[in-house]
């Protein structure tokens, strides 16, 4: 059963999944696809070629799937894809992409808090917590299980690694290595996200191995190229160490200090 409030405006061609509830004064555009069991509380706007999965909760005044804020955009039917079981709080804005070759993507099981912005072509993974008033420029990648503190601003094309913890009120201009934590403007990496890793079930042995690689890049006085050279000689690397090293190899904006 679909429950649409009489004051909501839902385009006839929008696809609405069973069990979805659309509250007062919501607007759902003609090319929107909503899966089963979604809740739009009230005053939510979803537009453009936007596909949303199952069991998402979207709160008042969120605006999703609108045009990118990019002067190069010329009106193409670009896309936004959102997964399942996300909580999208009040006044969140998520733009669709600025080019047909790439979508804006938000994964599953994320918490996007009030007033945060996801710009065109961003790629957000799964199980992320992104706090109030975080502002993302275009083409940002956020890995699974990352946490970003409130009022943080991220430069376009920045990558945030999996399980990273970014403290609030930070300014991010370079890539943030996986499993690390830091804060500030300029951003400073201060150690591993050890508490977060333990809460996610990482063993002490695995955390120790991640720390070995972390120390190589951050505590041995080596530059990134020198540390990567040392990594070439290492054997019996665990999967998490490989993730760390591969991330650094592909850090096009450079690695945060």
Average pLDDT over residues 122-149: 98
Q: Do domains 3-139 and 197-249 have the same CATH topology?
A: no
**What architecture (CATH level 2) is domain 3-139?**
3 Solenoid (2.160)
Beta strands in 103-202 (DSSP E): 104-106, 111-112, 117-118, 123-124, 129-130, 135-136, 141-142, 147-148, 153-154, 159-160, 165-166, 171-172, 180-183, 188-192
Calculate what percentage of the chain has a pLDDT beyond 70: 100
Residue 129: which pLDDT band, with cuts at 50, 70 and 90?
very high
CATH 1.20.58.100, applies to 197-249: no
Long-range interactions of 191-198: CB distance < 8 A, separation 24+: 193/147, 193/163, 193/164, 193/165, 196/145, 196/147, 196/163, 196/165, 197/163
Query: What is the reported pTM?
Result: 0.97
pLDDT one-digit tens code per residue, 28-81: 999 999 999 999 999 999 999 999 999 999 999 999 999 999 999 999 999 999
pLDDT one-digit tens code per residue, 150-205: 999 999 999 999 999 999 999 999 999 999 999 999 999 999 999 999 999 999 99
Q: Domain segments of the chain: what residues? A: 3-139, 197-249
């Amino acid at each position: 059963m679909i429950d649409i409030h009489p004051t909501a405006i839902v385009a006839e061609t929008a696809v609405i999944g069973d069990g979805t509830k659309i509250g007062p004064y919501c607007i759902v555009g003609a090319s929107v696809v909503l899966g089963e069991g979604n809740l739009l509380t009230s005053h939510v706007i979803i537009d453009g070629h936007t596909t949303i999965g199952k069991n998402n909760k979207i709160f008042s005044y969120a605006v999703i799937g609108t045009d990118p804020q990019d002067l190069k955009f010329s009106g193409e039917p670009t896309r936004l894809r959102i997964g399942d079981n996300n909580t999208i709080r009040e006044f969140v804005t998520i733009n669709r992409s600025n080019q047909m070759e790439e979508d804006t993507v938000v994964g599953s099981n994320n918490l996007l808090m009030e007033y945060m912005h996801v710009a065109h072509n961003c790629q957000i993974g799964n199980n992320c917590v992104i706090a109030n008033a975080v502002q993302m420029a275009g083409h940002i990648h956020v890995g699974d299980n990352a946490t970003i503190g409130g009022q943080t601003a991220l430069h376009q094309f920045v990558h945030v690694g999996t399980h990273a913890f970014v403290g609030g009120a930070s300014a991010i201009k370079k890539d943030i290595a996986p499993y690390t934590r830091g804060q500030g403007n300029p951003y400073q990496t201060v150690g591993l996200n050890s508490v977060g890793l333990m809460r996610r079930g990482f063993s002490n042995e695995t955390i120790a191995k991640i720390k070995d690689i972390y120390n190589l890049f951050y505590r041995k006085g080596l530059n990134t190229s020198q540390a990567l050279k040392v990594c070439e000689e290492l054997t019996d690397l665990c999967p998490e160490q490989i993730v760390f090293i591969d991330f650094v190899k592909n850090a096009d904006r450079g690695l945060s200090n």
